[in-house]
Amino acid sequence: MAQRGRPAYKPTKEERKLLRELRDTLGEIKSLEAERDDLIKILLDSPVPAQQIANVLGVATATISRRRRPDDPQKVAARNAVTIALRNGELTYGPCEVCGEYPTQAHHHNGYNNGHELDVIWLCREHHHHTKA
């Protein structure tokens, strides 16, 4: 007996347009998520009280306190330099050097010392986490 498979579905022109829009929107969301992560890092490194940050993010104050890192002025300066360079176009996000995915974070592969503030490679959250482990 002959196979009576369903004929392959061909999206209409309108559906293809919607798919393109969806793909573009998802790309924008990923960029915004990366930007939000950078802003959160700056806030965590700032003297803004943990309670205020927690209120804005809708999380418990303890969550913010736990995520606050001990002061490492060179690390903070290097991280801020990257954020500023991203804003003024001196740096742009690249795909993860390991898996090619977005969104990515700047990894200071040569440390944070003078001269290496913008010496970064791009890693997704997962692979960035691995470099710290």
* Residues at the interface with Zn ion (CB under 5 A): 96, 98-99, 124, 127
* Residue closer to Zn ion, measured from CB, 92 or 114: 92
Supply the minimum distance, in Å, between the C-beta of residue 25 and Zn ion. 23
Q: C-alpha distances in angstroms, 125 versus 23, 41, 65, 84, 111?
A: 21, 13, 21, 20, 18
* Residue closer to Zn ion, measured from CB, 91 or 98: 98
Supply the minimum distance, in Å, between the C-beta of residue 5 and Zn ion. 38
Give just the sign of the alpha carbon dihedral 48, 50, 52, 57.
Answer: positive
- For residue 101, give the 3-state DSSP assignment: coil
* Residue closer to Zn ion, measured from CB, 107 or 116: 107
Peptide bond into 49 cis (omega under 30): no
Supply the minimum distance, in Å, between the C-beta of residue 44 and Zn ion. 23
**Cα(81)–Cα(45) distance, rounded to whole angstroms?**
13
* Residue closer to Zn ion, measured from CB, 24 or 126: 126
Look at the block and give the residue holding tokens 């990515």: 104
Supply the minimum distance, in Å, between the C-beta of residue 50 and Zn ion. 30
